[in-house]
Amino acid sequence: MTKKINIVLLKDHNSIGQKNTIVQVSRGYALNYLIPKQIAEFATKNKMKHLNMFNIIKEKQKEKNKIRANQIAKNLISIKKISIMKKVGDNYNIFGSINEKDIIEKIFKHTGIKFTKKQIKLNHIKKIGIFNLEINLFDNQLYQMNISIIPANI
Protein backbone atom coordinates (compact mmCIF):
# COMPACT_ATOMS: atom_id res chain seq x y z
CA MET A 1 0.00 0.00 0.00
CA THR A 2 1.57 3.25 -1.12
CA LYS A 3 1.04 6.36 0.88
CA LYS A 4 0.39 9.57 -1.06
CA ILE A 5 1.77 12.92 0.03
CA ASN A 6 1.06 16.48 -1.10
CA ILE A 7 3.80 18.41 -2.87
CA VAL A 8 4.12 21.83 -4.48
CA LEU A 9 5.65 21.86 -7.96
CA LEU A 10 8.50 24.30 -8.44
CA LYS A 11 8.76 23.65 -12.19
CA ASP A 12 6.39 22.54 -14.92
CA HIS A 13 6.34 18.75 -15.27
CA ASN A 14 4.68 17.00 -18.21
CA SER A 15 3.12 14.09 -16.33
CA ILE A 16 2.26 15.82 -13.04
CA GLY A 17 1.19 19.41 -13.66
CA GLN A 18 2.04 23.07 -13.87
CA LYS A 19 4.33 25.17 -11.68
CA ASN A 20 2.92 26.34 -8.30
CA THR A 21 0.22 23.68 -8.12
CA ILE A 22 -0.40 21.27 -5.28
CA VAL A 23 -0.51 17.64 -6.37
CA GLN A 24 -0.68 14.29 -4.63
CA VAL A 25 2.02 11.73 -5.53
CA SER A 26 3.45 8.60 -4.00
CA ARG A 27 5.90 9.09 -1.18
CA GLY A 28 8.78 7.28 -2.92
CA TYR A 29 8.40 9.27 -6.14
CA ALA A 30 8.45 12.52 -4.20
CA LEU A 31 11.36 11.65 -1.88
CA ASN A 32 13.55 9.86 -4.44
CA TYR A 33 12.99 11.89 -7.59
CA LEU A 34 10.98 15.12 -7.38
CA ILE A 35 12.46 16.70 -4.25
CA PRO A 36 16.17 15.85 -4.93
CA LYS A 37 15.87 17.14 -8.52
CA GLN A 38 14.26 20.34 -7.14
CA ILE A 39 11.13 19.83 -9.19
CA ALA A 40 8.93 19.91 -6.09
CA GLU A 41 8.91 20.49 -2.34
CA PHE A 42 6.68 19.43 0.54
CA ALA A 43 3.32 21.18 0.76
CA THR A 44 3.25 22.66 4.24
CA LYS A 45 0.42 24.77 5.63
CA ASN A 46 2.41 27.96 5.20
CA LYS A 47 3.41 27.07 1.63
CA MET A 48 -0.23 26.34 0.71
CA LYS A 49 -1.33 29.62 2.31
CA HIS A 50 1.39 31.44 0.37
CA LEU A 51 0.25 29.89 -2.95
CA ASN A 52 -3.38 30.79 -2.24
CA MET A 53 -2.35 34.38 -1.59
CA PHE A 54 -0.54 34.53 -4.94
CA ASN A 55 -3.54 33.01 -6.72
CA ILE A 56 -5.82 35.68 -5.24
CA ILE A 57 -3.41 38.40 -6.38
CA LYS A 58 -3.31 36.91 -9.91
CA GLU A 59 -7.11 36.84 -10.09
CA LYS A 60 -7.34 40.49 -9.02
CA GLN A 61 -4.73 41.41 -11.63
CA LYS A 62 -6.71 39.57 -14.32
CA GLU A 63 -9.85 41.50 -13.36
CA LYS A 64 -7.96 44.80 -13.57
CA ASN A 65 -6.58 43.82 -16.97
CA LYS A 66 -10.08 42.92 -18.20
CA ILE A 67 -11.45 46.29 -17.12
CA ARG A 68 -8.50 48.09 -18.72
CA ALA A 69 -8.91 46.07 -21.94
CA ASN A 70 -12.58 47.09 -22.13
CA GLN A 71 -11.64 50.76 -21.67
CA ILE A 72 -8.99 50.51 -24.40
CA ALA A 73 -11.49 48.80 -26.71
CA LYS A 74 -13.96 51.67 -26.14
CA ASN A 75 -11.24 54.16 -27.10
CA LEU A 76 -10.35 52.15 -30.21
CA ILE A 77 -13.99 52.08 -31.35
CA SER A 78 -13.77 55.83 -31.89
CA ILE A 79 -11.10 55.28 -34.56
CA LYS A 80 -12.99 52.60 -36.58
CA LYS A 81 -10.27 52.44 -39.23
CA ILE A 82 -6.77 53.71 -39.87
CA SER A 83 -5.75 55.34 -43.15
CA ILE A 84 -2.14 55.49 -44.25
CA MET A 85 -0.95 57.24 -47.41
CA LYS A 86 1.96 55.67 -49.30
CA LYS A 87 3.59 56.28 -52.66
CA VAL A 88 2.48 53.81 -55.31
CA GLY A 89 4.48 52.25 -58.13
CA ASP A 90 3.49 49.84 -60.88
CA ASN A 91 0.57 47.41 -60.36
CA TYR A 92 -0.56 49.37 -57.28
CA ASN A 93 2.40 48.17 -55.24
CA ILE A 94 3.54 50.56 -52.54
CA PHE A 95 7.13 51.57 -51.95
CA GLY A 96 8.25 49.78 -48.82
CA SER A 97 5.67 48.03 -46.67
CA ILE A 98 3.35 48.76 -43.78
CA ASN A 99 4.64 47.49 -40.45
CA GLU A 100 3.56 47.51 -36.81
CA LYS A 101 5.47 50.72 -36.09
CA ASP A 102 3.29 52.68 -38.54
CA ILE A 103 0.13 51.33 -36.92
CA ILE A 104 1.38 52.07 -33.39
CA GLU A 105 2.13 55.68 -34.32
CA LYS A 106 -1.31 56.22 -35.88
CA ILE A 107 -3.15 54.73 -32.89
CA PHE A 108 -1.04 56.76 -30.45
CA LYS A 109 -1.73 59.92 -32.44
CA HIS A 110 -5.52 59.43 -32.24
CA THR A 111 -6.02 57.88 -28.79
CA GLY A 112 -2.84 58.37 -26.77
CA ILE A 113 -2.58 54.62 -26.16
CA LYS A 114 0.84 53.08 -26.70
CA PHE A 115 0.96 49.46 -27.92
CA THR A 116 3.91 47.14 -28.46
CA LYS A 117 4.80 45.35 -31.67
CA LYS A 118 3.88 42.01 -30.09
CA GLN A 119 0.31 43.17 -29.49
CA ILE A 120 -0.36 43.93 -33.15
CA LYS A 121 -0.93 41.11 -35.61
CA LEU A 122 -0.59 42.34 -39.17
CA ASN A 123 -0.20 40.51 -42.47
CA HIS A 124 2.55 41.62 -44.83
CA ILE A 125 1.08 44.57 -46.75
CA LYS A 126 2.68 45.56 -50.07
CA LYS A 127 -0.36 46.84 -52.04
CA ILE A 128 -3.02 49.49 -51.65
CA GLY A 129 -6.42 48.46 -50.34
CA ILE A 130 -8.29 47.65 -47.13
CA PHE A 131 -6.80 45.07 -44.77
CA ASN A 132 -7.72 43.61 -41.37
CA LEU A 133 -5.54 43.98 -38.34
CA GLU A 134 -5.82 42.39 -34.88
CA ILE A 135 -4.74 43.99 -31.63
CA ASN A 136 -4.18 41.78 -28.59
CA LEU A 137 -5.31 43.91 -25.66
CA PHE A 138 -4.73 41.57 -22.68
CA ASP A 139 -4.84 37.79 -22.19
CA ASN A 140 -5.80 37.06 -25.81
CA GLN A 141 -8.67 39.58 -25.88
CA LEU A 142 -8.53 40.54 -29.53
CA TYR A 143 -9.81 43.72 -31.14
CA GLN A 144 -10.17 43.83 -34.92
CA MET A 145 -9.76 46.97 -36.97
CA ASN A 146 -9.55 47.90 -40.66
CA ILE A 147 -6.55 49.61 -42.17
CA SER A 148 -6.79 51.49 -45.47
CA ILE A 149 -3.71 52.01 -47.61
CA ILE A 150 -4.29 55.02 -49.86
CA PRO A 151 -2.07 56.04 -52.79
CA ALA A 152 -0.37 59.37 -52.15
CA ASN A 153 0.76 60.27 -55.67
CA ILE A 154 -2.59 60.49 -57.46
Same domain, 79 and 144: yes
Same domain, 81 and 129: yes
What amino acid is encoded at 42 in this protein? F
Same domain, 79 and 47: no
Same domain, 80 and 147: yes
pTM: 0.62
Same domain, 76 and 128: yes
Same domain, 85 and 137: yes
Q: Which residues contact 9 (CB under 8 A, 6 or more apart)?
A: 16, 17, 18, 19, 20, 21, 23, 39, 40
- CATH number for the domain spanning 12: value is 3.40.5.10
Same domain, 47 and 76: no
d(CA 121, CA 142): 10
Same domain, 127 and 77: yes
Same domain, 133 and 82: yes
Sequential pLDDT tens for the chain (154 residues): 568 999 999 999 988 999 989 999 999 999 999 999 999 999 999 999 999 999 999 999 999 988 888 888 888 887 777 888 888 888 878 888 888 888 889 888 888 888 888 888 888 888 888 988 888 887 778 888 888 988 886 5
Residue 65 lies in a domain: no
If you write DSSP's letter for every residue of the chain in order, what string do you get? -PPEEEEEESS-BTTTB-TT-EEEEEHHHIIIIITTTTSEEE--HHHHHHHHHHHHHHHHHHHHHHHHHHHHHHHHHTT-EEEEEE-B-GGGEEEEEE-HHHHHHHHHHHH-----GGGEEE--EEESEEEEEEEE-STT-EEEEEEEEEES--
Pairing of strands 129-136, 142-151: antiparallel
Q: Which domain holds residue 106?
A: 72-151
